[in-house]
Amino acid sequence: MAAARPRAPLGDDAPHVLVVDDDRRLRDLLARFLGDNGYRVTAAADAAEASSRLTQIQFDVMVLDVMMPGENGFDFAARLRRTLNTPILMLTARGDPQDRIRGLEIGVDDYLGKPFEPRELLLRIGAILRRTASNGHAGAPEQVSFGPFTYRLDRGELRRGEELVRLTDREREILTILASHNGDNVPREIISGQGPGGVANERTVDVQINRLRRKIENDPANPAWLQTVRGVGYRLLVDG
């Protein structure tokens, strides 16, 4: 068998990813996979090691596990957001929608449930970096506006002008997820919270989206703001 061709060294302009996970095998796999796909990678086993790395290097994106010994991913992300706006993609085995909402409220940019396909991780990191480049800054927005509406992600508060629009908990969860993507397409499985293959709950997402449209659209059958992306999911068409 011929020897594997050595990988060409990456330039300083290659995006730099910080992988934070207490599973050494997963850290090594992600470092190798991301490196093979053009990323510089630094790994950390826990929040303490990651904090040390962050004082030395400015990273383009962080891949952060929720369940770690010591400081968990939620608490670490919340602490980081007080001083840093490094984009965060959170890895989680949890299925509770409240956990996803908690992360999005903290300022996490995206979620990916374990187990996951490495290719999907690559696509999500690429999407985060594109949003960062186009927005000129990192992190989820504090609020978004669309038409006459303003939605505050930190409060889960929707207003039409000065009027408060009443939302159910599920409508608030969906709107927070859509708003955190700042106009980008959001797959149905992310909104359903089931990850790839969550077909049953994806069908209920369509019903929930229609209920939300009735509160924000003049013509729910021809939505101006909460748009269907055929074959993918939905997007919230936010202002500028």
Q: Report H helices in the chain.
A: 24-36, 47-56, 73-80, 97-106, 118-135, 169-180, 188-192, 199-216
Rounded-to-integer distance, Cα 32 and Cα 34, Å: 6
- ∠ CA 193-222-141, nearest 5°, is 45
Contact 175, 151 (CB under 8 A): yes
pLDDT tens per residue across all 240 residues of the chain: 344 344 555 556 789 999 999 999 999 999 999 999 999 999 999 999 998 888 778 889 999 998 898 999 999 998 888 777 789 999 887 656 677 777 777 888 888 888 888 888 998 898 888 877 655 444 456 789 999 999 987 778 899 998 999 998 888 888 988 887 778 888 777 777 544 333 345 678 889 999 999 999 999 999 999 999 988 889 999 886
Rounded-to-integer distance, Cα 175 and Cα 167, Å: 10
Give the architecture (CATH level 2) of 16-135: 3-Layer(aba) Sandwich (3.40)
Write down the pTM of the prediction. 0.55
Rounded-to-integer distance, Cα 62 and Cα 115, Å: 18
Instruction: Copy the structure tokens of residue 28.
Output: 């090594």
Which regions of the chain carry the CATH code 1.10.10.10?
143-236
Residue whose tokens read 């202002």: 239
Tell me which CATH code domain 143-236 carries. Answer: 1.10.10.10
Output the 3-class SS for 19-34: EECCCHHHHHHHHHHH
Task: Please report the pLDDT score of residue 79 as a whole number.
Answer: 87
Which regions of the chain carry the CATH code 3.40.50.2300?
16-135
Query: Which candidate, 133, 122, 127, places its Cα nearest to that of 186?
Result: 127
